[in-house]
Structure 1
Amino acid sequence: MFAFTETKPSGTAEPEAVFISWLLWQPRGADLAAEALKEVQKLARYKGADPHIARLRALFASLAGADGPVH
């Protein structure tokens, strides 16, 4: 049996936890850089909205190989 140790609601996960979960759910052989770039583009609409979103976007941009801001 599994025990849940997270006490926060699921919508309040830290950016690093979301990023790791996303990585673990990628299919074997996936182009992680290309998939990360898709996530960066999805998160772009939340520009300046929340520091957690900005951090998550930066994590994906880093994986995508972005040297600077990704548009």
Structure 2
Amino acid sequence: MLAFTENQPSSTGKPESVFISWLLWQPRGADLAVEARKEVQKLARYGGADPDIARLRTMFASLAGSDGSLH
């Protein structure tokens, strides 16, 4: 879903907008917890270099039902 090509902060300040957009694009009947885990795994490769990505990852982890880091 997400593709970042640089290790620079995204500077968008809108991880909430990305999260809401992602939710709206999920197909009816999708297991949101499972899909959110997939996004957490994708975002994990970016580490904590960008606070927006870290916040987005936290939102997905919360939806996935995890209060810690997922592997």
Q: TM-score range by the shorter chain?
A: 0.7 to 0.9
The one-letter amino acid paired with 2:35 is E
Kindly report the root-mean-square deviation, in angstroms, between the aligned alpha carbons of the 2 structures. 1.4
1:19-30 mapped onto 2 (5 Å cutoff): 19-30=19-30
Greater Rg over alpha carbons, structure: 1
Q: Select the structure with the greater relative contact order (CA < 8 A; seq sep ≥ 6).
A: 2
User: Gaps (5+ residues) in structure 1?
Assistant: 1-10
**Offset at residue 12 of structure 1 (A):** 2.5
In structure 2, the gaps of 5 or more residues are: 1-10
How many residue pairs were aligned?
A: 61
- Which has a greater percent of helix? 1
Moved over 3 A (4+): none
In the alignment, the residues of structure 1 paired with residue 25 and residue 70 of structure 2 have an alpha-carbon distance, to the nearest angstrom, of 23
1:34-63: per-residue Cα shift (whole Å, max 9, x none)?
Answer: 000000000000001100000000000000
**In structure 2, what is the Cα distance between the partners aligned to 1:58 and 1:46?**
13
**TM-score of the aligned structures, taking structure 1 as reference length:** 0.80
